Structure formats: structure tokens, C-alpha cells
Amino acid sequence: MKMTVNRIRVVVLGSPRSGKSAVVVRYLTKRYIGEYSSTGDFLYTHRVAFDGAVSEVEIMDTSNCAIRGCLGEHVRWGDAFAVVYSVCERRSFLAAAELLSLLAQTRLPSCAAITLLGNKRDLEHAREVHAEEGQELSLRFGCQFYEVSAAESCAGAALAFHALLREARALALLLPAPRRKLAAYSVSKVIGTIFGKNSKSVRKKRPSLSI
Ligand code: GDP
Ligand code: MG
């Protein structure tokens, strides 16, 4: 049987040390190695089959892109976004809120699949952000939400990525390519103005889970 192949580009965003690389490596290799290079962006490509079709998935594990000035480029490039914060670092949660705000303002609603990932849930004693706050933020922006621990298990990262890819594929089928391309606009302008401001609630409730 001939399978359809579509391409899904996933961008992983978030504060330094929130565990972006750990989550990506967990998803791709099922392994956790503890320390990861943070010298630049890494692009991983793999094929996944689900729901009877194959997708060519490109995952961009970013590093300091807000500072290095490539955030706008990543936002335009991606079809799907995983915004990672550490549940042990409130600052990373605030940065995640800013990133969601940026995505909401630069992509038309429903033109990008987005998931919010609260990582390091194994460090309960050091928790600074409650699960309810992550849930509330995801409701404000109408994105998916998962609390995960890259250190503790594969399940959370796998579930979160599969759900994100499923949504991205659904959007790709619903929206013709030219319109999707048009949907990303004025990214650099918005980046320059929104950080520090809150965005209003715009979208509907999505599933969420702690793993
Ligand atoms: P990045 O800069 O966002 O890519 O973060 P890294 O993936 O490099 O992780 C930063 C640090 O947090 C590393 O020392 C990781 O070992 C650690 N780390 C990542 N995920 C977890 C987790 O789920 N639990 C714990 N306890 N540590 C984690
Ligand atoms: Mg990294």
C-alpha cells in the first residue's frame, strides 16, 4: 500500500536549561543522558507513521534563539511548536508565556499546532510553578499542555510529541499550503514589541495531562 508522506516542522522553544534538548532526545532516542550541548540549534529528521500515513518530521532544538536573533526565523519556519519551561523555575514559565504570546500574535489562529511542556516534574521539592498554572496558561492560548519529566520517563515526551504531530498533520490537511505560508507575518515586528506584555485569551480548551 502506498503511504502519503507529508513534512512537519517542529520548533522547540523555551528558556535556557529548561530541558528542551533533554525532552527532544528522550522523544527521539528514549534516552536521558543528563548533559546536552547548548552551543547552537540542532535539527533532527525522522519519519513517523501514525493513522495509516507517514510524516517526515524535522525537529529544531533551539538554543538561546531570542538572544541570537533567530527567533523570528524559527517562528516562520515551523508548523508546530513545543514551548518548554521548567516547573522549578518561574522565570522560565514567564518566558514560555511570552513565547506563546508571540506565537499567538504572529500566526493566525489554527495555523500552528502548539504544545506547552512543563518539564522536570520529578523535582517536586523544588517546584515553583503549579500544574494548574500551566493548565491555565494553555487555556489562555488554546494550546495543548503536558507536565513531563525527561529525566524520569519516555512516556511524557512521547505522548506530547505524538499529540503535537497529530494536530500538525490535521492542520496541514485542513489548510492549503499557500494560506499557511501567509499566516506567519510581521514576526520580527511583534518580537520587538510584545515581550513583557500579556496576551488575551483567544482559543478553546485542549486536552492536557501530567505524565
Ligand atoms: P536546554 O538548555 O533547554 O536544552 O536544557 P537541557 O536539556 O540542556 O537541560 C538542562 C539541564 O536540566 C541538564 O542538566 C539536564 O540534565 C537537566 N534536566 C533536563 N530535563 C530534566 C528533568 O526532567 N528533570 C531533571 N531533574 N533535570 C532535567
Ligand atoms: Mg539545549
List, for residues 103-128, the tens digit of each pLDDT value: 998 876 568 999 999 999 999 999 99
Find the mean pLDDT for residues 77-90: 97
For residue 8, give the 3-state DSSP assignment. Answer: strand
Atom of ligand 1 nearest to the CA of 15: 3
Residue 116's alpha-carbon distances to 130, 145, 188, in angstroms, are: 14, 5, 22
- If one compares 119 and 202, the residue with the highest pLDDT of the two is 119
Q: Residue 199 above 90 pLDDT? A: no
**Please, are residues 60 and 77 in contact by the beta-carbon 8 Å criterion?**
yes
**pTM of the shown model:** 0.87
| Ligand 1 neighbourhood includes 149 CB (under 6 angstroms) | yes
User: How much distance in Å is there from the Cα of 32 to the middle of ligand 1?
Assistant: 9
Question: Looking at residue 175, what is its pLDDT?
Answer: 75
Atom of ligand 1 nearest to the CA of 33: 16
Residue 101: all three cell numbers together: 504570546
Question: Looking at residue 1, what is its pLDDT?
Answer: 54
Look over the chain and give the mean of its residue pLDDT values, rounded to a whole number: 86
- Work out the number of other CB atoms within 10 angstroms of the CB of residue 162: 13
- Work out the number of other CB atoms within 10 angstroms of the CB of residue 211: 16
Closest ligand to residue 22's CA? 1
Strand locations in the chain, DSSP E? 5-14, 42-50, 53-61, 80-86, 113-119, 144-147, 208-210
Owner of C-alpha cell 525537529: 59
Find the mean pLDDT for residues 23-38: 94
- If one compares 202 and 210, the residue with the highest pLDDT of the two is 210
Q: Is 86 exposed, middle or buried (0-12, 13-18, 19+ CB in 10 A)?
A: buried
For residue 18, give the 3-state DSSP assignment. Answer: coil
Q: How confident is the model at residue 61 (pLDDT cuts 50, 70, 90)?
A: very high
Question: Looking at residue 205, what is its pLDDT?
Answer: 47
**Please, are residues 158 and 211 in contact by the beta-carbon 8 Å criterion?**
no
All residues with CB under 5 Å from ion ligand 2? 20-21, 38, 63
- Work out the number of other CB atoms within 10 angstroms of the CB of residue 135: 17
For residue 4, give the 3-state DSSP assignment. Answer: coil
CA 9 to chain centre: 11
Strand partners, 84: 14, 117
